[in-house]
Amino acid sequence: MSQVSWLPVSGVRVSAVKAGVKKPNRYDLVVFELAEGSATAGVFTLNRFCAAPVQVAKQHLAAAAPRYLMINTGYANAGTGEKGMQNCLASCDLLAAVGGCRRDQVLPFSTGVIGELFTLPPFERGLPAALEALDEHGWGLASEGIMTTDTRPKIASHRVELNGVPVTITGIAKGAGMIKPNMATMLGFVATDATIEPALLQSWLKRLADQSFNCISIDGDTSTNDACMLVATGKAGMAAPVQENSAEAQTLFAALRQVFVTLAHAIVRDGEGATKFVEVRVEGADSDADARAIAETVAHSPLVKTALFASDPNWGRILAAVGRAPIAALDVERVNIWLDEVQIVANGAVAADYTEARGAAVMAQGDIRITIGLAAGRGAATVWTCDFSYDYVKINAEYRT
């Protein structure tokens, strides 16, 4: 299943085991071992019902340099109260004991059904096996081990040279439903062997998340468990840490962004029941915030998304979504909308040369770009989304069965 090309990252060993967290005979427990001296940054969900592992991971990240990341599937451990918190901490204790570190050097992550507790025996059985299996080539199985309703693993790599030193970046992510991140992604783990100071790493991660995972939407739902981690092991052999605003920093940031965007796009393309990948681009808004609000309103609209599934160029649904976006002002007579290169709306009304056949031809494609021009300013934003199919309803109606 994990035949995607990727590169190992010096200073990171990974494993995935079949621990039976919820179902037998599937990879469901993943461990990352980080070399001592690694810098680690994280961004987490802003959902107020954030899961116990989110709370613990944030606390532990603030307290110590992580040695292990631990991810389980099957149970989100969100909405589980004090018992969920106890189980989460106990699972950290189990890994700390086997791995020979402190509890606060373990960052836990969970994904799966909200409101249900996991039990500890799968961790007791699985964690020794996971540490035994740690390997720098374990990324492929790990990308499978963090999946829930995903139909395929999501993994990406990139390599650049900084002052003659080869630097590697590899990341994995999971997510196919309950996707409208409000900080990062569903679960994402990216590592590089570059040397990056912790403060710069955290700043970069926020920017990278805002330019990738925070620009995607499957269904407009922000999960209780979203988390994205960026690790810099410093094992590439660089003479000194990357200096902010240097040419090397620009090269490295661009490479990191390529991995983040690739993973974000992979999530959208694997959206539950999705048949189309859709880019919504808004230009000429009063501000970037206004542009983002309009792009997200269009991307979240069930009416727009179902029309996309049907390949129906019902452009009035896009126009209506633009008009109800939560922005202070909109001059409707200056709004222009395109499907790829086909203009469907000119100055707030149907374009003179638009035909249903031209619109339908674009809507029948697997990849579609919707461009919205407002002619009001310099604000711009891009959001990536997908269509809504019959299968989306079926998958979520039967999620627990």
Catalytic residues: 185
Among residues 268, 252, 111, 242, which one has the least CA distance to residue 189?
111
Chain centroid offset of residue 240 CA: 30
Residue pair 293/217 in contact by the 8 Å Cβ criterion: no
Residue pair 230/41 in contact by the 8 Å Cβ criterion: yes
Chain centroid offset of residue 13 CA: 21
Distance CA 311, CA 305 (A): 10
DSSP bridge partners of 158: 169
- Where does 18-153 show beta strands of DSSP type E? 29-34, 39-44, 68-75, 106-113
Distance CA 77, CA 88 (A): 8
The CA R_g of the chain, rounded to the nearest whole Å, is 22
Secondary structure of residue 385 in the 3-state scheme:
strand
Among residues 167, 232, 215, 138, which one has the least CA distance to residue 383?
215
- Where does 138-293 show beta strands of DSSP type E? 154-162, 165-174, 187-192, 216-217, 227-232, 277-285
Distance CA 191, CA 157 (A): 10
Q: Which two tokens stand for residue 10?
A: 């010096």
Cβ contacts of 164 within 8 Å, gap of 6 or more: none
Distance CA 252, CA 167 (A): 8
Q: How many CB atoms lie within 10 A of CB 151?
A: 14
Distance CA 60, CA 73 (A): 20
Among residues 172, 59, 165, which one has the least CA distance to residue 111?
172
